Structure 1
Amino acid sequence: MEQRRLGHEGPLVSAIGLGCMSIGIADVYTSSVQDDEKAVELIHRALDLGINFLDTANIYGDSELKVGKALRGCRNEVVLATKFGIVMGSDLHNRGVDGSPESVHRNCDESLKRLGVDHIDLYYLHRVDPQVPIEETVGAMAELVKAGKVRHLGLSEAAPNTVRRAYKVHPIAALQNEYSLFTRDPEEELLPVLRELGIALVAYSPLGRGFLGARFRSVDDLAPGDWRRGNPRFQGEQFARNLAIVDRLQEIAEEKHCTAAQLALAWLLHRNPDVIPIPGTSSIGRLEENIGAVQISFNDEDFNRIEAVLPKGAVGGERYAPEMMKILNG
């Protein structure tokens, strides 16, 4: 497995990580895992395949508990990331955010307890609190580093200027942001700032919330309670438009003897040597498929063909509903 570094002085991690949201939350994604043994089996298979970067969060149901259970006896083999800042129990479609120093310390202690570990390798602010200066939040996070509870700091969905302000308080190892063929916003302003400061970008939803895996032909393929049923990109004309794009990507993938998901992940890996995608899955088969992306070669012709099929801005619909869009790019 190829490895990439989190920031200038951060740890080396596998070029593809594992997002662990799907093993902890019911009724968010159709195939979420609720069985502890299956979740542990999935994580252990990821480790066997060379993945050493696990990403969870305090709001992902019991994901931290399951990740902690899986890491018993092998904690030192993993770079463990978790997040805080979104208010636990707040409405899924209208999240509350708390970046206060008290929240920093309380949530870290609670995550350490659930994970059953003595330190977190990478601790993210999940969303920027507009009511708390970022300097105060990161200052409190830096206290966690001094206390030995956290090794490295990260931000998620933070605006470029916010990243600069945070970095002046304490080095930031990674910025987590949605980034994929479907969501290329970071390329405009965020990635240049991250590269200037030596911060890695950790790409969540690198498969466009499953769209780029060519898994769906209709919204009816999603479970009744699946969160994506309310996502703008899965609505009516937008769904049809995005499905047509994926079908064309699928044709390119077949010519390269890979799946659409592997094509999308390989595009990210070859385009950005400082980006680490963290696709989430509850399926060992999908996990193994995703890992196969590291073996796919890419050339300029491949990039040009994909750009012709899916230029920046071609995807229909915002990436979140209006209320959730308000807490992005903070």
Structure 2
Amino acid sequence: MRYETVGAAGPRVSAVILGCGNFGGIGSPAQFRGKGDNRDTAFAVMDAARDSGISMFDTADAYAGGDSERWVGEWLASRRAHGEIALTTKVGGPVEFGSGLSGEHIRRAIDASLARLGVERVELYLAHGPDDSVPIEETVGAFEELVQAGKIGAYGVSNVDAGQLKAAADAGSPVNVQNGYNLFDRLGQAEVLKACADKGAGFTAYSPLAGGLLTGKHRGGESYQAGSRMALRPPELTDLTMERAFEALPRLTDIADGHGVSLTTLALAWVLTDPNVTAAVVGPRSAEHLRPLVAAADLQLTAEQRAELVVAVSAN
């Protein structure tokens, strides 16, 4: 495993970050609570992640109605792992007392998150998405207060465009952007990646495998596996399930075979070897699924090899 510092002043993290959005549910929507990993599976995944050298877990207050944070906290306590694992959590999604990025909501939300996680401080606190109803100065001001209070080490933003990042950077000192980024969803992030470089912010990629599409386990014309993200959340993944994407999978698999690795490993390595990417957030559904993901941190792709993969997905 290799490690990088997030931005100019963020925490040092493993190249592969464990995403905990599957714990107890599938992300934030209430209708998917109970459809994700159960507690025992979540604990097994966290055990395997720590054993693999992963040093940061990523969660959010809205995931599974707070159960994701709660289970991470229970695992940390049971494994006495507080000094080994850094934490990212997020604010702004729907929780029992509301949502959004007002200063009042942020101050209340961090205390609730810290209580569920069983810690006094999280290393990185992210705005889960933009809130146009609140001035960015108010949001960033609240984050700065939390840094001064010692409740967070640093803060950042998620699901933003380049203009929104620049506005946050003009108002304060965000150290990180967390956006979706993968071989099938790359062009939209070019300006954001450039803005991160210009502002000295890190970039952590979520959905680096396009919701499981880049594992190669889904094929065009086939039904999605029961319980998978593709089956449970088709609306948000519709743009990734086009015929073009499915037609690219055999070409990508051939390239992966040439490297002697799985498509999962190759696709994640493409993300991790982007010089503007700090780390990638992965959400394996089992401890076994973690192995090819961790292997990606050790696969170094040259610029020419990365370009070959882009050609493979653009050839249709």
Global fold match (TM > 0.5): yes
- Distance change (3 Å), C-alpha of 1:282 and 1:89: farther
Q: Paired residue for 1:193?
A: 195
Q: Paired residue for 1:5?
A: 5
- The one-letter code sitting in structure 2 at the alignment partner of 1:263 is L
Indicate the SS of the match to 1:87: coil
- The one-letter code sitting in structure 1 at the alignment partner of 2:11 is P
Q: Paired residue for 2:137?
A: 135
2:205 matches 1:203: yes
Cα-Cα RMSD: 2.4
Range with bigger deviation, 72-81 or 200-209: 72-81
- The one-letter code sitting in structure 1 at the alignment partner of 2:136 is I
Question: 1:248 and 1:125 mapped to 2: Cα distance?
Answer: 37
- Distance change (3 Å), C-alpha of 1:224 and 1:282: closer
Q: Paired residue for 1:59?
A: 62
Q: Which of 116, 119, 133 is the aligned partner of 1:117? A: 119
- The one-letter code sitting in structure 1 at the alignment partner of 2:143 is M
2:293 matches 1:290: yes
- Distance change (3 Å), C-alpha of 1:60 and 1:135: same
Indicate the SS of the match to 2:63: coil
2:48 matches 1:41: no
- Distance change (3 Å), C-alpha of 1:166 and 1:299: closer
Alignment deviations for residues 152-204 of structure 1 (CA, whole Å, 9 cap, x no partner): 00100122222222223321111110011111145431111110111000100
Q: Is the 8 A contact 1:40 1:69 kept in 2?
A: no
- Distance change (3 Å), C-alpha of 1:270 and 1:311: same
2:263 matches 1:257: no
- Distance change (3 Å), C-alpha of 1:145 and 1:224: closer
Q: Paired residue for 1:69?
A: 74
Question: 1:117 and 1:292 mapped to 2: Cα distance?
Answer: 30
Shift of 1:222: 3.5
Q: Which of 84, 96, 118 is the aligned partner of 2:91? A: 84
Q: Paired residue for 1:163?
A: 165
2:316 matches 1:309: no
Q: Paired residue for 1:231?
A: 236
Shift of 1:44: 1.7
Shift of 1:311: 3.5
Q: Which of 12, 15, 36 is the aligned partner of 1:32? A: 36
Range with bigger deviation, 130-139 or 159-168: 159-168
Alignment deviations for residues 45-92 of structure 1 (CA, whole Å, 9 cap, x no partner): 1011100011000111111011111112111111200001022379xx
2:19 matches 1:16: no
For structure 2, the residue ranges without an aligned partner over 5 or more in a row are none
Aligned residues: 305
Question: 2:244 and 2:314 mapped to 1: Cα distance?
Answer: 13
Shift of 1:224: 8.9
- Distance change (3 Å), C-alpha of 1:159 and 1:206: same
Identity percentage of aligned residues: 32
Q: Is the 8 A contact 1:31 1:282 kept in 2?
A: no
Question: 1:3 and 1:274 mapped to 2: Cα distance?
Answer: 12
Indicate the SS of the match to 2:249: helix
Q: Paired residue for 1:151?
A: 153
Indicate the SS of the match to 1:77: coil
Question: 1:12 and 1:133 mapped to 2: Cα distance?
Answer: 30
Q: Is the 8 A contact 1:3 1:12 kept in 2?
A: yes
- The one-letter code sitting in structure 1 at the alignment partner of 2:83 is N
2:205 matches 1:240: no
Q: Is the 8 A contact 1:97 1:128 kept in 2?
A: no
For structure 1, the residue ranges without an aligned partner over 5 or more in a row are 91-95, 315-330
- Distance change (3 Å), C-alpha of 1:131 and 1:15: same
Shift of 1:29: 10
Shift of 1:305: 2.1
